[in-house]
Amino acid sequence: MISLLTATLLLAQTQPITITVQPDHVLHAASKDLFGIFFEEINCAGDGGIYPELVRNRSFDDSDKPEHWEVSPGLKTEVSNGKLQVEAMADGELTNNGYWGMNLERGQKYTLQVIGDFPSKCQIDVEAGETKKKLSFDAGMGKTSTTPLIASTSTAAGSLKIKVAKGQKFALDYVSLFPNTTFKNRRNGLRPGLMGMLTDLTPAFVRFPGGCWVEGDRMDSAYRWKTTIDNLPTRRTVPNLWGYKSTNGLGYHEYLQMCEDLGSAPLFVVNCGMSHKETIPLNQMDEYVQDAVDAVEYANGPATSKWGAIRAANGHPKSFNLKYLEIGNENGGAAYNERYKLIYDAVKAKFPDIITIADVWGGTPKGPKVETIDEHYYSNPNFFFSNASRYDSYDRKGPKVYVGEYAVTEGAGSGNHIAAIAEAAFMTGMERNSDHVIMASYAPLFANVNAKAWNPDLIYFDSNKVYGTPSYFVQKMFSQNRVSKIVKSSATNITEPVTPFHKGGIGVGTWITQAEYKDISLIENGMTKQLDKPQSQMKPLNGTWQFDGGTLRQTSNQEGTRCIFPSPNSSNYTLKLKARKISGREGFLITVGFKDSDNYLWLNLGGWGNTQHAIEYAVSGGKSELGRHINGTIETGRWYDVQIDYAPDHIVCKLDGKTIFDQKPTSSPRFFYTTGIDSAKNELVVKVVQGNETNQQVVINIPNRKTSGFVYGLFLASNDIHAENSLESPTHVSPVPMKAKIEGGKLAFTAKPYSLTIFRIPLK
């Protein structure tokens, strides 16, 4: 016999899901800027990527050695004051292979520029691939030779060689080999193939230049836009915390130009006086505040203004129409709140129309109005499936939301199909709530296959090839099928299975905090067991734990420390303990349902910079909140009573005798949809995500519309959820056109396993 639940599920699977759409019932306008892109200088996305300079370390600023230059025996070299001093004891050559090979295309034009200090009538021979050229220099300091080259052969593994004859002695200050063919033939322009990939995404906005690249590890490597708009040979080369040096050849002006070429609204992220390890004192913040104001003036000010005139001199008299300014990146806490207010007030005083975005790493900043908050999500597929309805219940009275970074990063391979479908599910929720979630951008955008510092990424490339992951095609499908209005719809026969909580053990921990625990007891089946022998009863997984009688103390400053107790005998139990914070940024982590380090629940008291309490639920390493967090702090030096009543179908958490959470497992549907109108084309757009492993029959029903005929759409599916694309097979997982018949306002189709399907239905 089968259970009633199983029979119900089987019956639901045999019945079609019917999505009933009311195209005349508009719920709200959809955000015009919902789908954009986030460009960060990571993974050689700029240098070695979309910025097509072929010479690596062109200014000899990477270190005190000729990094990325091969020096043949017989040449004596030294890097001094950003110049490569060369003395030939014998004939030799300097070779630069660029970024894992220079891509040279037969018949294409390139510009070779060499700046250096040369003696009288100095000649040097250069070779780019098999193309040869002789350069002549008169005596003098800072002499420049700018020479056109036409490649005689095609290669993806080319190099630039500078031939040096015995007895020659000179200094090289700058060596550049730059393709003449750039996107829209811009001077100092961008790589056409990579820009073409972005053009196909039709991004509503571009967030730039980061990311952690904005903050830098320390303030001396933080992004300062004013050092990126001067002459190319003198731009500041900066250590990038992602493991390479950045020339800033792709500077503030070029980023704004990129946005213009894509038809996208610029979103500039300005440093707020904070790096990963340092914070500028408040009495020294004037320079950083002025940087933010001047950045807006450079982008938008008239050509008669100070910075607008510099923009005009750089070749762009008209405004770039900067729309958004994000103040800092992933910053938070009291220090950020103070600096956010300084920049917000100064920018709004001069440019009130600029829309500002705030970080929320220590909670939403207090003080001035917060217009938009930036939320980031990286997790596993289950998190994104489970959080597709996350924004359904967000408070519309609060700030608008920008989901500035999101991606499946666990179980995603190098960017696989299941990751893309889980992200698509999450995107249906953002689109459905695009009255409040006004912007979203996947991250990271680009990765050179030879320089991956983050996994996965949206677009991969080498010196001459490029491909998009399945996630790229999901982004493309959503962005090319935008809607202007969200309309009312409902669905029947969607199964919503409830997954019970993990069965498992208990424990305690901290997050960048020192704390102690005592009077730890476990109650099960009416019996109380005191855990008063920590050495034998507790197992530290990480952190620095000390055992003092019945008190357990954690003294390190690590993230996510944990000490696990013996597992209860039953799946239903009560954990009681006292907890006291010694010092640090946050509060306590009390674990229940501990299956392993990737699967558990914990009560997070004083999390998010000691501003919130929440229950976090980890599945396969990805954490999500169970229910909603509440405001709360943990005081230093005070003992708190904590109690958790736990069962696989119910968890109750009490703090000092007061119930703060009472939660049951939530349902986890794996079928998602969103419905909207493209007013410009008078078409109903329906997006459907099937996140299950079976075919699902679907009917789209439009009452009171007698539309008949064939309609066209796209679907993305794969028989292998782990399938990926590659440089050799760039469209292995990619959208396929489809056609379906609609009769009497009803369209029936089969949603394939783990698929995204989009239909555009004329409403004439």
User: Cα angle vertex 489, ends 487, 495, to 5°?
Assistant: 145
- Contact (CB, 8 A) for 132 and 104: no
Residue 355 vs residues 11, 369, 399, 484: alpha-carbon distances, Å:
50, 11, 12, 21
Residue 578 vs residues 293, 457, 520, 542: alpha-carbon distances, Å:
50, 44, 7, 21
Q: What is the CA radius of gyration of the chain?
A: 30
Catalytic residue (one of 53, 93, 330, 586) = 330
Rounded Cα distance between 507 and 143, Å, is 69
- Contact (CB, 8 A) for 311 and 321: no
Rounded Cα distance between 303 and 599, Å, is 58
The terminus-to-terminus CA distance of the chain in angstroms comes to 51
Question: Which residue reads 């509503």 in tokens?
Answer: 204
Phi, psi values for residue 362, rounded to 5°: -125, 25
- Beta-strand (E) ranges in 620-754? 622-625, 630-631, 639-647, 650-655, 658-663, 671-678, 683-690, 696-701, 709-716, 736-743, 746-751
Rounded Cα distance between 129 and 126, Å, is 10
Q: Which residues is 327 bridged to in the sheet?
A: 270, 358
- Contact (CB, 8 A) for 373 and 358: yes
Six-digit token string for 42: 């990571």
- Contact (CB, 8 A) for 747 and 740: yes
Six-digit token string for 565: 């107790």
Phi, psi values for residue 33, rounded to 5°: -105, 20
- Pinpoint the alpha helices (H) of 280-390: 286-300, 306-313, 333-350, 381-386
Six-digit token string for 107: 């018949």
- Is 340 in a helix, a strand, or coil? helix
- Contact (CB, 8 A) for 471 and 434: no
Q: Strand 599-606 and strand 622-625: pairing?
A: unpaired
If one counts every other C-beta atom within 10 angstroms of the C-beta of residue 372, the result is: 17
Peptide bond into 456 cis (omega under 30): yes
Report residue 758 CA to chain centroid gap. 25
Rounded Cα distance between 210 and 727, Å, is 26
Phi, psi values for residue 121, rounded to 5°: 50, 50
Q: How many helices (H) and strands (E) does the chain have?
A: 12, 50
Give the closest residue to 589 by CA, choosing from 621, 566, 613.
613
Please tell me the total number of residues recorded for the chain in this structure: 764
| The three-state (H, E, C) secondary structure of 473-528, written as one string | HHHHHHHCCCCCEEEEEEEECCCCCECCCCCCEEEEEECCEEEEEEEEEEEECCEE
Rounded Cα distance between 543 and 557, Å, is 8
Residue 521 vs residues 450, 526, 529, 562, 662: alpha-carbon distances, Å:
53, 12, 6, 17, 21
Q: Is residue 78 among the annotated active site residues? A: no
Catalytic residues: 330
